[in-house]
Each structure stands twice: as structure tokens, then as C-alpha cells.
A and B are shown apart, each in its own frame.
Chain A
Amino acid sequence: MDQIFEILIAGLLIAAGIFGIVGSFGLIKLPETMTRLHAPTKASTLGVGGVLVASMIYFFVFEGKLSWHELLITLFIFLTAPITANFIAKAYMHRNLTPKDMPESNTARGWATYEDEAETQEPLMTKPKRP
């Protein structure tokens, strides 16, 4: 029984290592920032997820205690990786691109990130009236 878990944990760790190194290699191989954004955020998240799942199984089987920290870290990384990617993409767009570089949005309005603050919109919720 222990043998099966050892094989499972070793397989998870090796898959995680390969995912991690592919993500970091993509960071130095891909040509520009927007394409580089895609390699580490996906592959490194999978790599860290694999390591954390392997660690969870390891501590449950061989040390006999169930620890929830790994699940917490996994959840946190899975939640925050898209947010950081979005933020970095937005910062890159505002520094290096203009609205002319963007494709058509196919709607009545342009892309939301380039809209001016001066162009005010009708708020969805109306303000409470003062008596």
C-alpha cells in the first residue's frame, strides 16, 4: 500500500518539476511581454499545485497528520495568479500600446481600460436623495 502512495507522490513531484521548469523556460524563450505573460502564470501555478498536492498526500500517509495549509496555499495561488497577470497586462498596455494598436471591440464602445475618466457614465445605482 505504501508503495502505491510512493509512486503516486513521486509521479506528482516529477510532473510538478517539469511543469515548473517549462514555465520558467517559457519566460526566457518567448519573444515579447504579452506572450511571456502566459507561460509562468499557467505552468508555474500547475507546478506549485502539483508540489502542494504531493506534500499533502505525503504528510497524510507517512506522518499521519492531515494538514490544510497546502490546500490554503493552493487556493490562494489559484485565486491570485489571474489577478496578477491581469494587472501586469494592464500596466504593459498603458505603457507600451495605444488604442490604435488594439483590435476592434465589436461593440458600440471602445476597450474599457482606455476610456477617459472625463466621459462619465450614468451610475447603475442612483444616489440616495437627501431629505
Chain B
Amino acid sequence: MITFAIAFASICFGLGLLFNLWRVFNASGVTDRVLALDTMVINIIALLVLYGMSVGTGVYFEAALLFAMTGFVSTVAYCKFILRGDIIE
């Protein structure tokens, strides 16, 4: 039963990733694109954790943690660059 649930959740998050990709290519502005990339990072974290569950190792949590951190920092850096034209002043 858990195997089917993991497969279902993986399909859901994979489809969500495709939706995000569509939005990255068809964005109405640069902030929209940043938002789609941020959502992509969140979906990828979910996919990594799901894969770790299906394999049964805890190694992928480290990768998920790294993804969460770099995703946050990159989104803030993008927004800061849009706002100020510079990242570290």
C-alpha cells in the first residue's frame, strides 16, 4: 500500500514539476519566473524525500536539506538583484 502511495505522490509532484516548467517558459514577467523556479525547488525536495523513502536510505535527506537552503538563497538573490541591481552592496 505504501508503494502505491509513494508512486501516486511521485506522479503528482512530477506533474507539478511539469506545470512549473511550463510556467517558467510562459511567464508574464521576471518575478513570475522566479516564483515558478521557487516552486520547482519545493517540488524537487518532495521528490527527493519520496525517492529516499522508496529506496529506504536516509542519505537523500541531506540532499533535500541542501536543496532547501540553496533554493531559498537563490530566490532571495534573484529578488534582491531585481530590486537593487546588485546582490551584495
B5 and A40: CB pair below 8 A?
no
Number of interface residues of A (CB under 8 A): 53
A87/B36 contact (C-beta < 8 A), A13-B6, A13-B9, A69-B62 known: no
Q: Measured between alpha carbons, how far is A87 from B38 in the docked complex, in Å?
A: 12
User: Which applies to chain A's interface (DSSP): helix, strand, loop or mixed?
Assistant: helix
Q: Which residues of A contact B87 (CB under 8 A)?
A: none
Q: Measured between alpha carbons, how far is A92 from B27 in the docked complex, in Å?
A: 13
A16 and B9: CB pair below 8 A?
yes
Min CB gap A116→B, angstroms: 15
B68 and A91: CB pair below 8 A?
no
* Residue of A10, A18, A37, A91 with most partner-chain B CB within 10 A: A91
Number of interface residues of B (CB under 8 A): 51
Check if B88 is an interface residue, CB within 8 A of chain A.
Answer: no
Min CB gap A34→B, angstroms: 10
B50 and A51: CB pair below 8 A?
yes
User: Which applies to chain B's interface (DSSP): helix, strand, loop or mixed?
Assistant: helix
Min CB gap B27→A, angstroms: 9
B42 and A17: CB pair below 8 A?
no
A21/B76 contact (C-beta < 8 A), A27-B39, A77-B45, A92-B29 known: no
Q: Which residues of A contact B16 (CB under 8 A)?
A: 20-21, 23-25, 44
- Say which residue of B39, B69, B83 sits within 8 Å of A94 (CB atoms): B83
* Residue of B9, B12, B62, B76 with most partner-chain A CB within 10 A: B9
B22 and A28: CB pair below 8 A?
yes
Q: Which residues of B contact A65 (CB under 8 A)?
A: 58
Given contacts A28-B19, A33-B32, list 16 more A-B pairs with CB under 8 A.
A17-B9, A28-B23, A37-B35, A47-B13, A47-B46, A54-B53, A55-B50, A55-B53, A59-B53, A69-B61, A72-B65, A80-B72, A87-B80, A91-B83, A92-B31, A94-B82
Q: Sorted from nearest, which 5 A-B pairs have the closest CB atoms? A: A24-B16, A17-B12, A17-B9, A69-B61, A10-B5
